[in-house]
Amino acid sequence: MLDFRIGAIYLYPKYVRLISQFRIPLSDHVPATPPRTVKDAKACAHRDKGLVLGIYYNENVKNDAAILTASAEKYNKKVGGKLWEVLKLTPTPKLGEHRIFYDLDPEFAYVAVAGLGSECMSFNPIEQLDENKEAIRIAAGVGAKALRPFNPKTIYVESFGNAEAAAEGAELSVWQFQEYRHSTQRQKFPLSTLQLYDDCDFLGWKIGKMKAEAQNLARYLQEMPANILNPTSFAKIAVDLLCELDINVEVRTQGWAMSREMGGFVAIGKSSVQPPLYVEISYFGADEYTRPVVLIGKGVTFDSGSLDLKHPKDLKYMKGDMAGAACVLATTRAAARLKLPINIRGILPLCELMPNANSPKFGAVVNSANGKTIHVRLPSREGRLLIADSLVYARNYWPKFILDIGTMSKELVDSLDGAACACYTNSEELFCYTESASSQTGDRIWRMPLWKFYEDRVLDCETADVANTGLQKYGDSPNCAAFLKQFVCDSKWVHFDTYNVAYSKGRDFPYLGRGMTGRPTRTIVELLTQLLADKKI
């Protein structure tokens, strides 16, 4: 049994209680309650169901520009045409807009009609996006979110033609992080109240919910305050959530990392009073002879920048610098829940980066597991040191391919903003699958150069074999990828730099509110699914 002690200090149990929202119920048993006598059936009948329907609107059509979806048309006939009558009294909702109507029928107290845009949307190669699926996510998300303030017991959402995309949009939109607000201030809306309406594709709905719940788990971990989510509590959460799905979790200490000559991980871990932990999670969905996929996630639970202290405007987001580790944990859990026939090794180097006497210094030299020495030009570029050691360690498993995720370079905010995360890879085939997966999920990636031009920058170092960044002011993201490439050897490899997509101000995607995003969890799950479908892993 793991003992989560640091000296004589124990984790406070009250800070670990609320992760239970992501745990799988062991049974559907409902505690017995005393029977209640209904004196007036009409007075006790509380209509607390909501319904989300859709409407198409094509601006280029002069007559009949608005068309109800098939489910909305059926509902309109059910209520004797009242839905269409009240819709004509308001401007037709366009994509991302909604209208709410009340008391149209005895079953649903309120009905939200969400705009889907044009009914002719499909895959757009220029946008690298399946615009039809994205419109469905937006409509389902906008509609479900609009009904949330009414505290409905159940919200029924039509499929809009794709139940999986509708489930994703609805689940992502209604989720909120309220764990540390007083019970009287929370908006009570359990996620289990979302149901599929007027469609029999319950499998697609279930898959979409699982993908969205995985992203919500990553959002939950990113939102947790850094004084509560430290490496030790992160490891405990991993044990609590993964072991119930028969996923192996191994927690290793700093001494183990020192014996493996992980100089970068040890150097960063020494900077904090919170002991670093090297967590490895293993999901075995295939036979023992199947080579695994290795997922590596940067797990810096708080990144102060160390002696290269970050600006206060950036520090308020640094509780989410473990976004990569959260994404790997959530992806592995989703693969287990979906019962994907695949073997996954997840590597989570967990630590804090703080300024103290043991922090890595400007110009420090550390050893790596493959024998190369690393010159620390900037101590604030710590994530790449953790990933470098993990890339070398991942070779022990003879992986099909390695995928690492981390918030690496702030400059991506200025270049890509929240549109897409940066992708670097040495495999053309893997990139094609990754691009295809991202176009289906709406969580796009953009390929960045992995050129010798940037490799020369990090190899231009007289003190050691390689530097953790270049001397130039710009190009830090490709410099990081060029640095990591020195530790990949001959494995197929994909690197995601997610700094610019880790946080959203709530304007990029209507179904993602303000706060941490959990991206690109759904894209990675879709990538694994597509590779399995084509028997590439």
90 close to 99: Cβ distance less than 8 angstroms: yes
SS3 249: strand
Mean pLDDT of all residues in the chain?
92
CA distance 239 to 403: 22
Structure tokens at 156: 């029924």
Sheet strands (E) in 180-221: 194-197
What pairing do the DSSP bridges indicate for beta strands 248-252 and 194-197? unpaired
Query: Tens of pLDDT along 132-169?
Result: 999 999 999 999 999 998 888 899 999 999 999 999 99
Q: How far is CA 234 from CA 48, 229, 239, 316, 350, in A?
A: 38, 6, 9, 19, 8
Of 247, 269, 452, nearest to 356 by C-alpha is: 269
Query: Tens of pLDDT along 209-259?
Result: 999 999 999 999 999 999 999 999 999 999 999 999 999 999 999 999 999
Count Cβ atoms below 10 Å from residue 460 Cβ, excluding itself: 12
115 close to 140: Cβ distance less than 8 angstroms: no
Question: Which secondary-structure segment (H or E) carries 467?
Answer: strand 466-467
Q: How far is CA 381 from CA 47, 229, 362, in A?
A: 55, 21, 11
Instruction: Scan for tokens 């992806």, then name that residue.
Output: 331
345 close to 394: Cβ distance less than 8 angstroms: yes
Rg of the chain on CA atoms, in Å: 25
Structure tokens at 428: 């053309």
Three-class secondary structure assignment of 27-51: CCCCCCCCCCCCCCHHHHCCCCEEE
CA distance 138 to 46: 29
Query: Tens of pLDDT along 254-294?
Result: 999 999 999 999 999 999 999 999 999 999 999 999 999 99
CA distance 427 to 274: 38
CA distance 233 to 406: 20
Helices 231-242 & 323-337 angle (0-180, nearest 10): 10
Query: Tens of pLDDT along 95-122?
Result: 999 999 999 999 999 999 999 999 989 9
Is 80 exceeded by the pLDDT of residue 45? no
Of the chain, the percentage scoring pLDDT greater than 70 comes to: 91
Is 90 exceeded by the pLDDT of residue 187? no
pLDDT value of position 7: 47
Q: What is the mean pLDDT of residues 75-80?
A: 96
Q: Which residues are catalytic?
A: 310, 384
Listed in sequence order, the residues at least 6 apart from 192 whose beta carbon sits closer than 8 Å to its beta carbon are: none
Cis ω before 520 (30° cut-off from 0): yes
Q: What is the separation, in whole angstroms, between the first and last Cα of the chain?
A: 34
Query: Tens of pLDDT along 404-430?
Result: 999 999 999 999 999 999 999 999 999
Residue 65 phi/psi, 5-degree rounding, is -70, -25
Count Cβ atoms below 10 Å from residue 396 Cβ, excluding itself: 10
Instruction: Scan for tokens 């609107």, then name that residue.
Output: 57
SS3 136: helix
